[in-house]
Amino acid sequence: MSDLLKIADKTYHSRLLVGTGKYKDFAETRAAIDASGAEIITVAIRRTNIGQTAGEPSLLDFLPPEEFTYLPNTAGCYSADDAVRTLRLARELLDGHKLVKLEVLGDPHTLYPNMIETLAAAKTLVKDGFDVMVYCSDDPIIAKQLEEIGCVAVMPLASLIGSGMGILNPWNLQIIIDNAKVPVLVDAGVGTASDAAIAMELGCQGILMNTAIAAAGNPILMAGAMKKAVEAGREAYLAGRMPKKLYSASPSSPTTGLIS
């Protein structure tokens, strides 16, 4: 079955996007990403360690940009200006790469997004030619505004970043999905495979996660579980679930031919 994820005119087979943080080492990062089947991977932009890195391996040695679609993020940015500045550096770093993940945080304790700064940054970045996938709160009005600004994907949280609390407000996600003309991906909050399946069953186009895999007891095994959950949830969504009924008057087995 050909069911591709399309973001900004490029298509992907995998609907699971993964982060590259919090792993034990680069070898584990690579093994988990291979097990996840992800084609799009997020990276952060940080100051280079000067004087300590000569000859040391880097993330890019283990995850060559030719093999994956890099999604540089603005993690740790608390203002629109910092986010825009970070992504301009990312574009230079990755040879003119346009696809980016915008997130502007509002509070270091909860990592809840600051949507006023996010909207301002999104406007500037779209005008500057970036393809913006935007992390946002699960407010349907804000999600629509981000789409209207020109973001190529809207990525509401399912619950707080790194919390693993799962899909806390499926109803808001449903409204966002129903109203959207661009792909909606759940970003943040997934804790285990069933969370990923639930999000996909709602009609999300994909899921972005990091901690749920990296902080699992066995990250590589969990990466494989997430791959299957995203695929299972997607197929269930496409298949269309049976209607819910409190009880059924139509059993699955024939009502005739019973012995007496």
Partner 1 sequence: MQLIINGKPRSFDAASFTVAVLVQQLELVGKRLAIERNGEIVPRSQFEVTSLADGDKLEIVGAVGGG
What does the binding site for partner 1 look like in residue numbers (CB under 8 A)?
19-23, 29, 42-48, 50-51, 53-54, 58-60, 70, 72-73, 75, 85, 88-90, 92-94, 161-162, 208-211
Minimum distance from residue 88 beta carbon to partner 1 (Å): 6
- CA distances to 4, 21, 96, 165, 192 from 158, rounded to whole Å, are 23, 19, 31, 8, 12
Query: Which C-beta is closer to partner 1: that of 12 or that of 26?
Result: 26
Query: Which C-beta is closer to partner 1: that of 75 or that of 198?
Result: 75
Q: Do 20 and 41 meet the contact criterion of CB atoms below 8 Å apart?
A: yes
Q: Do 136 and 102 meet the contact criterion of CB atoms below 8 Å apart?
A: no
**Residue 128 burial (CB count, 10 A):** 13
The owner of tokens 């952060």 is 44
Give the whole-angstrom CA distance, residue 208 versus residue 215.
15
Question: What crossing angle do the helices spanning 193-201 and 219-239 adopt, rounded to 10°?
Answer: 20
Q: Do 78 and 114 meet the contact criterion of CB atoms below 8 Å apart?
A: yes
Minimum distance from residue 69 beta carbon to partner 1 (Å): 13
Minimum distance from residue 244 beta carbon to partner 1 (Å): 34
Query: Which C-beta is closer to partner 1: that of 195 or that of 201?
Result: 195
Query: Which C-beta is closer to partner 1: that of 90 or that of 151?
Result: 90
- Write out the catalytic residue numbers: 101
Minimum distance from residue 164 beta carbon to partner 1 (Å): 13
